[in-house]
Structure 1
Amino acid sequence: MKKHLFPKNFFCRHSKLVAPDLIGCYLTKKNNEKDQIKGIIVETEAYSQEEEACHGFHKITKTNKSLFGKPGTFYVYKSYGIHHCLNIVTDKENFASGVLVRAVFISKNNERLASGPGLVTKIFGVDLSFNSLEVLNNKSLWISQRKTTIEEKDLIQTTRIGISKAKNIKWRWYLKNSGSVSKRLKGDRMPKSK
């Protein structure tokens, strides 16, 4: 199984550089030998301790500790005590920086099946047990490099969603031609279903 197709220091960069590069990459969850779910990441958001919307803006806590961890690991947290959110830790250790996986397109399914961070973790069965796992070095949940080139014109860059602070920072990216995006920029029409 070829999972390690990322450049060596891919995750050791600022979250705002990693986030658009994760669009088009594959998220795969293996439940057992025969049962596997795979989809294409179509929407991401970047967070960094330099800005107030980041969980690590104030300090390191028991809950956000893994966000300060090794780049290329998962940071999973529970949002509003209801649903889990899947993030990839980026940049460097002891610095809170991560990319939230906001939406995933799963072929041969309803395009809206995983069109939001809570839906992504629900469909992929992600919970706190995946927190701090290495993205490329585990047998149950991983990300693999995209097979096609995605150019800047294929992406929409806009502001993040569902935050009350640092709302004007344009650190959300999504694939323009995807119907699985959680929320489109005003005036950007939903593409026709495939």
Structure 2
Amino acid sequence: MASSLPPKATSIPTTTSQHLPQSFFARPAEQVAPALIGCLLVKRQADGELLWGVIVETEAYCQSEPACHGYRRRTPSNETLFGEPGRFYVYVSYGIHHCVNVVTGRVDWANGVLLRAVAFPGELDRLAAGPALLARCFGIDRSHDAQLVHPDRALWIAPRPPELAALDAADLMQTSRIGISQGQDLPWRWYWRASRSVSKRAKGDRQPSYAELAFLLGP
């Protein structure tokens, strides 16, 4: 499916041409997941234009717990998750929806972070509020599986722009993961509380009254 148009109402952040180093991902998923909030998912399209959005929700998964794809065994379909950190792991959910993960941790130990939601400042709040919508907006599918998270491959993750550099733990909501039947007790989901693009808010956490991202990254 064709990608959505790049955000119209905001200028392109200066960090989009940069990328997170492999060492950033060479840590346990539960450390990388909250650190990815505020970073930019960037895709260079065929015409050279950049499609970008701010990562506002993530989930961590580890081989030691039952919700992880690598929990029971290593298979051809989950092989990427056991590989080197800093690669995309893309799988198909319910036979139709693509979900985008980044491999973390170390080789031979299944570990990764699911990118659950991205905000496009200046666009509809819920354009990419969920893993399947995120993949659809960026045109990500199984052909991107095992691909390096790097500009040379036209799909990468850039550091937080200066406007979001002050983002810290107090700005994030940490809660249990959703959409799974096992491992629900682990509080391994994080989202930016000020974002209106979160897939599902924790009980009692009210929707922000305005789009703070559009304010921070406005023209």
TM-score interval (norm. to shorter): over 0.9
1:9 matched to which residue of 2? 23
Distance in 1 of aligned mates of 2:50 and 2:151: 17
1:191 matched to which residue of 2? 208
Q: 1:71 aligns with which of 85, 95, 108?
A: 85
Q: Which runs of 5+ in 2 are unaligned?
A: 1-15, 212-219
1:36 matched to which residue of 2? 50
**Structure with greater helix share of residues:** 2
Deviation sequence 1:56-115 (CA, Å, 0-9, x none): 001110110000011000000000101100000000011100000000001121010000
Distance in 2 of aligned mates of 1:57 and 1:138: 32
Deviation sequence 1:138-158 (CA, Å, 0-9, x none): 332110010222111100000
1:154 matched to which residue of 2? 171
User: 1:118 Cα deviation (Å)?
Assistant: 0.3
C-alpha contact (below 8 Å) 1:14/1:91 kept by paired residues: yes
C-alpha contact (below 8 Å) 2:22/2:85 kept by paired residues: no
1:21 matched to which residue of 2? 35
User: 1:43 Cα deviation (Å)?
Assistant: 0.1
Distance in 2 of aligned mates of 1:86 and 1:7: 18
User: 1:31 Cα deviation (Å)?
Assistant: 1.5
RMSD: 1.3
- 2:199 is the alignment partner of 1:182: yes
User: 1:132 Cα deviation (Å)?
Assistant: 0.5
Distance in 1 of aligned mates of 2:56 and 2:194: 9
Distance in 2 of aligned mates of 1:117 and 1:107: 18
Matching of residues 157-168 of structure 1 within 5 Å: 157-168=174-185
- 2:50 is the alignment partner of 1:50: no
Distance in 1 of aligned mates of 2:97 and 2:31: 26
User: 1:8 Cα deviation (Å)?
Assistant: 5.6
User: 1:7 Cα deviation (Å)?
Assistant: 5.5
Indicate the SS of the match to 2:179: coil
C-alpha contact (below 8 Å) 2:38/2:54 kept by paired residues: yes
C-alpha contact (below 8 Å) 2:118/2:197 kept by paired residues: yes
Q: Which runs of 5+ in 1 are unaligned?
A: none
C-alpha contact (below 8 Å) 1:3/1:144 kept by paired residues: yes
TM-score of the pair, normalised by structure 1: 0.96
Distance in 2 of aligned mates of 1:151 and 1:116: 22
Indicate the SS of the match to 2:26: coil
Distance in 1 of aligned mates of 2:62 and 2:199: 21
- Runs of at least 4 residues off by over 3 Å: none
1:126 matched to which residue of 2? 140
1:101 matched to which residue of 2? 115
Tell me how many residue pairs correspond in the alignment.
Answer: 193
User: 1:192 Cα deviation (Å)?
Assistant: 1.3
Distance in 2 of aligned mates of 1:135 and 1:38: 14
Q: Which moved more, 1:30-39 or 1:72-81?
A: 30-39
2:176 partner letter = T
2:109 partner letter = F
1:136 matched to which residue of 2? 150
